[in-house]
Amino acid sequence: MESKRVETVSARVDAAAAVSSTDSVEDELELSAVRHRPEGLEQLEAQTRFSRKELQILYRGFKNECPSGVVNEDTFKDIYAQFFPQGDASTYAHFLFNAFDTDHNGSVSFEDFVMGLSILLRGTVQEKLIWAFNLYDINKDGYITKEEMLDIMKAIYDMMGKCTYPVLKEETPRQHVEVFFQKMDKNKDGVVTIDEFIDCCQNDENIMRSMHLFENVL
Amino acid sequence: MAAGVAAWLPFARAAAIGWMPVASTPMPIPPQDKRKAQDGLIILNVSGTKFQTWRTTLERYPDTLLGSTERDFFFHEETNEYFFDRDPDIFRHILNFYRTGKLHYPRQECISAYDEELAFFGIIPEIIGDCCYEEYKDRRRENAERLQDDEEMDMSNDVTPVNLTFREYLWRAFENPHTSTLALVFYYVTGFFIAISVMANVVETVPCGTLPNRSKEVSCGDRYALAFFCLDTACVMIFTVEYLLRLIAAPSRCKFMKSVMSVIDVVAIMPYYIGLVMTDNDQVSGAFVTLRVFRVFRIFKFSRHSAGLRILGYTLKSCASELGFLLFSLTMAIIIFATVMFYAEKGSSATKFTSIPAAFWYTIVTMTTLGYGDMVPKTIVGKVFGSICSLSGVLVIALPVPVIVSNFSRIYHQSQRAEKRRAQRASKEAGQALVVKAATPPFESQHHHLLHCLEKTTNHEFVDEQTFQANCMEVSVVNKAGSRSSSLSSSPHGLGSCCSRRHKKKSSFSPPSTNNQELSTIQIRERPVSNSRASLNAKLDETVPLKCDESYITPSMVSLSAPVVTSADEDASTTTAYSQSNIVRVSAL
């Protein structure tokens, strides 16, 4: 009797799992129905370098835009696109999303969001450079290839849009990538490793200065 | 930009660190956040009901009372709160607007009270959200109509304004008979004469007994010919005078003459005059008699006196297609059944169904279930088909009629709603242009700084559509003549609101060491080819795709902050990032 009940229950669970995994629309509904609650304020305070008040302000803004507590990629792209009305920010937003979504589960929770921001705004220069390297390394294999860099560069130039001065041309991103590789790729092996990247950036005054640009954003 | 997204600006700025390693030029200085917004709670006491919200929430809309310093006038020192002596129920909606960015209209509130509150707090009604906008506009329109009706009633009791010309006065008297007693008298007199005329037309055909020296019965018209003629003359005179007066008073005579009512007037009085002209000509007296039929059209003159007739006429006009379908299907059925009956009755003797057209009459009478009985089938086949005809007649007529009725009601309501929505959309779009922008000033400057960082990363600048087109044009012009001009100045005007402030800020940022001369005159200059971008420009001359189609030359002012320096591989970084900026800005004025 009991085994039968267990069987039916397990069958029902399997059926539910099967249904939920196949239909992507249902996945979306599930995501929106999920009410994600972030970890406690103390824990986040310990894990990030934000003060309590700053975390409160961040969370209020986050929750206002995403009442369900998580951001999925489409919402992320929409939000980011609003800051760049003249161009197409969706590709770059995609890369950004992957950089923020550290556990690669397809959604950015408040913890992911705040951890990323903590590095970007309050981290050491080393941490920021590692974060930037992570952003450029699309497949996360530890090397930035020319193709990856080209993708990133095209995404950045896409954000500029069509109406620019001087007029954007097809090979501008490629040229920019060439310049970047000439600077960064010390041993000329066609890829940039993290050490080459960090070394080169630390030797460049402009880059060093710009790393401190957004420190008092919050 | 939505107020909520403004909260994500810190994130977007932080993420800009991703551009830094690939940037080719140094980044601009971030704007100083002078006004560190204290994020405290504000207590709003509205007639005793306490509302609380964050200070930053209210400051999202700096053009309203609560978002600006105007609220300081209502600050109550003793209780350390802001006191408003207004309606707390409506205030709830106003505060929700600050919180969510959407203004809702509560259905149970009075529209004028709501409007007053909105006006007090400095909020434009046009930003009411789509969910409540239609309701709001409907109520507002009803209210306006009510006010207008009240005004009109008052106006009708007032003394008529003296400054109307006689012609306008006359037209007004004709169109609104209740405005003056004279018009009212005229209105009733013409109505009376229309009735008299129609009744006379009817009565003069009634047989009135015999004349003493005749055996035949004569109609009243022939017996009292003179009386009827005098009556007719009097009526026609009145109608003619009325028509001429209307013609004189009409503001647009052509339009008046083409209108339906004037055509009816003409048709009503024409037979009399034609009858006067051609009196004793026997040949045309037949035609003359026919013309008298047109006198019955005088009855349509009543439609000026009755609004219901006008509405009926309009609805028939609007249901024309449905009526046409009914007629068509009936015609089809009539032809089919007439043919069948004709061939069915062909065999029988002394049949009335002499031809198919003759059988039409039978079919119509049977299908509409009249059944006069002047034509009846005698054969069995004929009777069978006759019964089928009458049954199907009921169906054929009964089916389209409800469709017509429902179509009529649908069309009627639809036209009402379409009118409403059309009027609403026009005014709504006009209002959206004035919509309050929910961006705080520090947000704007930070956003512009972010965009400027992107420009620096890619070494390209944002320009707007017009200047982009102008660039395309000028490149093709400059292809030949690459002259360089000394520093001129620009005042960008044609840029969108997002970037206009940015450029204004840029020009304020440029340090006094660079020689930026302000030119007040508008000059057409060939675009200078800058030094540092020589490599880029060399390619530009060859391969720039001309995306713009229109060929116009806009007068433009160009700014070039001297000295012209190379940008990319500049090592000697001067004091500010801006002085190195090799900004060539083209703007169309």
- d(CA B227, CA B161) in angstroms, rounded, equals 44
Q: How far is A5 from chain B (nearest CA, A)?
A: 49
Do residue B30 and residue A213 have CB atoms under 8 angstroms apart? yes
Closest Cα in chain B to A211? B17
| pLDDT, mean of residues B448-467 | 83
Closest Cα in chain B to A64? B4
Structure tokens at B19: 């551009």
| pLDDT, mean of residues B270-291 | 73
CA dist B550 → A92, A93, B470, B496, B546 (Å): 33, 35, 10, 21, 10
A49-123 and A125-217, same CATH topology: yes
User: Which of B9, B22, B529 to probe the A interface (max A CBs under 10 A)?
Assistant: B22
- d(CA B386, CA B393) in angstroms, rounded, equals 10
**DSSP 3-state assignment of A164?**
strand
Do residue B22 and residue A209 have CB atoms under 8 angstroms apart? no
CATH fold of the domain at B41-155: Potassium Channel Kv1.1; Chain A (3.30.710)
Among the partner-chain residues A79, A84, A161, the one whose CB lies closest to the CB of B8 is A79
Contact B394, B330 (CB under 8 A): no
Q: Give pLDDT tens digits for A184-204.
A: 888 888 888 888 888 888 888
What is the CB neighbour count within 10 angstroms for residue A51?
11
Beta bridge pairs of residue B233: none
Among the partner-chain residues A86, A167, A206, the one whose CB lies closest to the CB of B544 is A167
CATH fold of the domain at A49-123: Recoverin; domain 1 (1.10.238)
Chain B residues with CB under 8 Å of A86 CB are 462
**Where are the domains positioned within chain B?**
41-155, 176-305, 310-427
pLDDT of residue B142: 79
| pLDDT, mean of residues B205-231 | 80
pLDDT of residue B433: 61
Query: Is the reported ipTM for this assembly greater than 0.90?
Result: no
pLDDT of residue B152: 63
User: Which of A118, A138, A213, A216 to probe the B interface (max B CBs under 10 A)?
Assistant: A213
Closest CA to A153 of A131, A174, A126, A130: A174
Sheet of B81-84, strands arranged across: B49-54, B41-46, B81-84, B75-76
Q: Give pLDDT tens digits for A76-94.
A: 888 888 888 888 889 999 9
Among the partner-chain residues B2, B7, B30, the one whose CB lies closest to the CB of A214 is B30
- d(CA B539, CA B535) in angstroms, rounded, equals 7
Do residue B27 and residue A206 have CB atoms under 8 angstroms apart? yes
CA B242 to chain centre: 36
pLDDT of residue B237: 92
Among the partner-chain residues B13, B39, B544, the one whose CB lies closest to the CB of A57 is B39
List the 120-179 stretch of A: residues with Cβ below 8 A of B.
120-121, 128-129, 131-132, 135-136, 149, 152-153, 156-157, 159-169, 172, 176, 179
Q: Find out whether the peptide bond into A166 is cis, omega within 30 degrees of 0.
A: yes
Q: Give pLDDT tens digits for B190-201.
A: 999 999 999 988
- d(CA B346, CA B440) in angstroms, rounded, equals 93
CA dist B144 → B90, B129, B137 (Å): 21, 21, 10
Chain A residues with CB under 8 Å of B584 CB are 165
| pLDDT, mean of residues B229-242 | 91
CA dist B334 → A213, B87, B551 (Å): 89, 71, 66
CATH second-level architecture of B176-305?
Up-down Bundle (1.20)
Among the partner-chain residues B2, B27, B584, the one whose CB lies closest to the CB of A210 is B27
pLDDT of residue B517: 39
Closest Cα in chain B to A178? B22
Q: Among A30-44, B188-202, B332-346, B390-404, where is mean pLDDT lowest? A: A30-44
User: Which of B1, B17, B478, B548 to probe the A interface (max A CBs under 10 A)?
Assistant: B17
Q: Give pLDDT tens digits for B154-179.
A: 655 554 556 678 888 888 888 877 77
B176-305 and B310-427, same CATH topology: no
Structure tokens at B355: 């031809």
Enclosing H/E stretch for B510: none
Q: At what angle do helices B400-432 and B307-318 cross, to 10 degrees?
A: 100
User: B323 or B258: whose pLDDT is higher?
Assistant: B258
Structure tokens at B161: 């304004």
pLDDT of residue B379: 92
pLDDT band for B331, please (50, 70, 90 cuts): very high
pLDDT of residue A8: 52
Do residue A83 and residue B450 have CB atoms under 8 angstroms apart? yes
Residue B296 in this model has a pLDDT that exceeds 90: no
CATH fold of the domain at B310-427: Helix Hairpins (1.10.287)
Structure tokens at B192: 């009376």
What is the CB neighbour count within 10 angstroms for residue B42?
18
Q: Identify the residue whose tokens are 């009372």.
A: B65
Chain B residues with CB under 8 Å of A108 CB are none
- d(CA B450, CA B16) in angstroms, rounded, equals 8
What is the CB neighbour count within 10 angstroms for residue B417?
11
Chain A residues with CB under 8 Å of B455 CB are 160
- d(CA B146, CA A215) in angstroms, rounded, equals 61
pLDDT of residue B322: 75
List the 66-95 stretch of A: residues with Cβ below 8 A of B.
79-80, 82-86
pLDDT band for B549, please (50, 70, 90 cuts): very low
Contacts of residue B120, Cβ cutoff 8 Å, sequence gap at least 6: B65, B86
Do residue B7 and residue A64 have CB atoms under 8 angstroms apart? yes
User: Which of A184, A206, A216 to probe the B interface (max B CBs under 10 A)?
Assistant: A206
- d(CA A144, CA B146) in angstroms, rounded, equals 73
pLDDT band for B411, please (50, 70, 90 cuts): low
CA dist B469 → B465, B473, B553 (Å): 6, 6, 10
pLDDT of residue B520: 35
Mean pLDDT of chain B: 73
- d(CA B539, CA B185) in angstroms, rounded, equals 87
Contact B316, B327 (CB under 8 A): no
CA B543 to chain centre: 47
Within 13 Å, how many C-alpha atoms sit on residue B366's CB side?
A: 27
Do residue B7 and residue A61 have CB atoms under 8 angstroms apart? yes
Do residue A214 and residue B17 have CB atoms under 8 angstroms apart? yes
Percent of chain B past pLDDT 90, that is, above it, reads 17
pLDDT of residue B425: 66
User: How big is chain B by its Cα radius of gyration, in Å?
Assistant: 42
Q: How far is A30 from chain B (nearest CA, A)?
A: 24
Residue B334 in this model has a pLDDT that exceeds 90: yes
Chain B residues with CB under 8 Å of A61 CB are 4, 7-8
Chain A residues with CB under 8 Å of B465 CB are 163
> Is beta strand B81-84 parallel, antiparallel or unpaired with respect to B41-46?
parallel
Do residue B467 and residue A163 have CB atoms under 8 angstroms apart? yes
Q: Give pLDDT tens digits for B471-529.
A: 777 766 655 444 443 333 333 333 334 444 444 444 333 343 333 333 333 333 334 33
Do residue A117 and residue B14 have CB atoms under 8 angstroms apart? yes
Chain B residues with CB under 8 Å of A218 CB are 10
B29 DSSP 8-state letter: P
Contacts of residue B578, Cβ cutoff 8 Å, sequence gap at least 6: B28, B506, B509, B510, B511
B81 phi/psi in degrees, rounded to 5? -140, 170
pLDDT of residue A101: 86
Among the partner-chain residues B20, B447, B586, the one whose CB lies closest to the CB of A132 is B20
pLDDT band for B11, please (50, 70, 90 cuts): confident
**Where are the domains positioned within chain A?**
49-123, 125-217
Beta bridge pairs of residue A107: A72
Residue B325 in this model has a pLDDT that exceeds 50: yes
- d(CA B101, CA B86) in angstroms, rounded, equals 22
User: Which of B9, B11, B536, B559 to probe the A interface (max A CBs under 10 A)?
Assistant: B11
pLDDT band for B93, please (50, 70, 90 cuts): very high
pLDDT of residue B382: 93
Closest CA to A179 of B83, B22, B46: B22
User: B37 or B578: whose pLDDT is higher?
Assistant: B37
Class in CATH terms, A125-217 = mainly alpha
Q: Give pLDDT tens digits for A142-200.
A: 888 888 889 998 988 888 888 888 888 888 888 888 888 888 888 888 888 888 888 88
Contact A36, A110 (CB under 8 A): yes
Largest distance between two CA atoms of chain A: 78
B130 phi/psi in degrees, rounded to 5? -60, -30
Beta bridge pairs of residue B411: none
Beta bridge pairs of residue B585: B559
Establish, for the pair of chains A and B, how many residue pairs have beta carbons separated by less than 8 Å: 161
pLDDT of residue A37: 73
Q: Give pLDDT tens digits for A92-136.
A: 999 999 888 888 888 888 888 888 888 888 888 899 999 989 899
Structure tokens at B288: 């003359």
